[in-house]
Amino acid sequence: MDDCRKTTAYLLVISGVVIITVAEILKGRGLYFFRIFFTPIVWTGYVLLLDGFNYLRRGESLIITDTVNFLFMIPISIGLWYLFEFYNLFLNNWHYINLPENRAIRYFGYFWSFATIWPAILETYSLFKGFGLFSKVKVKPYKLTSKTFWILVIIGAIFEILPFVFPNRYWAPTIWTGFILLLDPINYRLKLPSLFGRWETGEMGALWRLFLSGLTCGFFWEFWNFWAGAKWKYTIPYFGDIKLFEMPIVGFLGFLPFAVEVFTLYIFVGWLFKKFLGIEGITYRL
């Protein structure tokens, strides 16, 4: 292990712990900056902490050994989350409160927060992969047929179109699953990393690691959001009064497929960058 990179990894771990700890303390003391930007601050610390630990554990990480990919991941994360914000205009499943009145400061907070979403999920996945979680999960190999491919793509497309045609709060499950059905088969056909590609080999531990990554990040998103000054609240119609933090309990199930969508969307967008802009290296290995 390269000494310089190892030192960097230790610095990332220490920085992550310090950032999260200081944010907790100063937010608790009521400092405006830490109350308003608490969410992006702690998630920055989370990403740095996990990246350093992942390198020390596996000898590779997004920031240290795949830096260009990580730098592209930041604006991609912002753009892809705005895709879900656009859908929320038709679903109205969440809204933000206590935001800065100054528009520039408010959007700075948006961009900073959204920039941490994709790195957080994928760093968490790398953590679980480094520990070998679910590595022994095997299923009967399955090769995606042309008929099944088109069925899944059509269903996925319908799922993502429905909220535009019939806007209401009950379409949340279609949003959190539609991109998986639509894009993972396409990624498979394009010979990109995909869950169907893993299924073809009978190895499906990756799916469970993604599920656990989504649930883990979901817990911390809601935990830290609960104590934040500027925060989001939910108007989910399914058992909305039974909550853990601000999230109705049933809503935590959405974090499982969301993590899969994080992966499938990122792989597909990476292909688009390569295909139309000639930019390579935007990808992620399960």
Question: How would DSSP label each residue in 140-185?
Answer: ------HHHHHHHHHHHHHHHHHHHHS--GGGHHHHHHHHHHHHHH
Bridge partners (DSSP) listed for residue 244 = 247
Q: Quickly tell me which residue has 């050994």 as its tokens.
A: 65
Encoded tokens for 248:
């109705």
Bridge partners (DSSP) listed for residue 247 = 244
pTM: 0.94
Q: Which burial class, exposed, middle or buried, applies to 94 when counting CB atoms under 10 A from its CB (0-12, 13-18, 19+)? A: middle
Q: Look at residue 235 in the predicted model and tell me its pLDDT.
A: 83
Q: Look at residue 248 in the predicted model and tell me its pLDDT.
A: 81
For residue 202, give the DSSP letter.
T
Q: Look at residue 239 in the predicted model and tell me its pLDDT.
A: 65
Q: Look at residue 81 in the predicted model and tell me its pLDDT.
A: 98
209, part of any domain: yes
Q: Look at residue 1 in the predicted model and tell me its pLDDT.
A: 61
107, part of any domain: yes
Q: Quickly tell me which residue has 């310089």 as its tokens.
A: 4
138, part of any domain: yes
Encoded tokens for 277:
């802009």
pLDDT tens-digit profile, the chain (286 residues): 688 999 999 999 999 999 999 999 999 999 999 999 999 999 999 999 999 999 999 999 999 999 999 999 999 999 999 999 999 999 989 999 999 999 999 999 999 999 999 999 999 999 999 999 999 999 999 999 999 999 999 999 999 999 999 998 889 899 999 999 999 999 999 999 999 999 999 999 999 999 999 999 999 999 999 999 999 998 877 666 677 787 888 888 999 999 999 999 999 999 999 999 999 989 999 9
282, part of any domain: no
Domain that holds residue 173: 3-277
285, part of any domain: no
Task: Please tell me the total count of domains within the chain.
Answer: 1
Please, are residues 90 and 164 in contact by the beta-carbon 8 Å criterion?
yes
Cα 186 vs. chain centroid, distance in angstroms?
A: 20
70, part of any domain: yes
Q: Quickly tell me which residue has 């399960």 as its tokens.
A: 286
284, part of any domain: no
49, part of any domain: yes
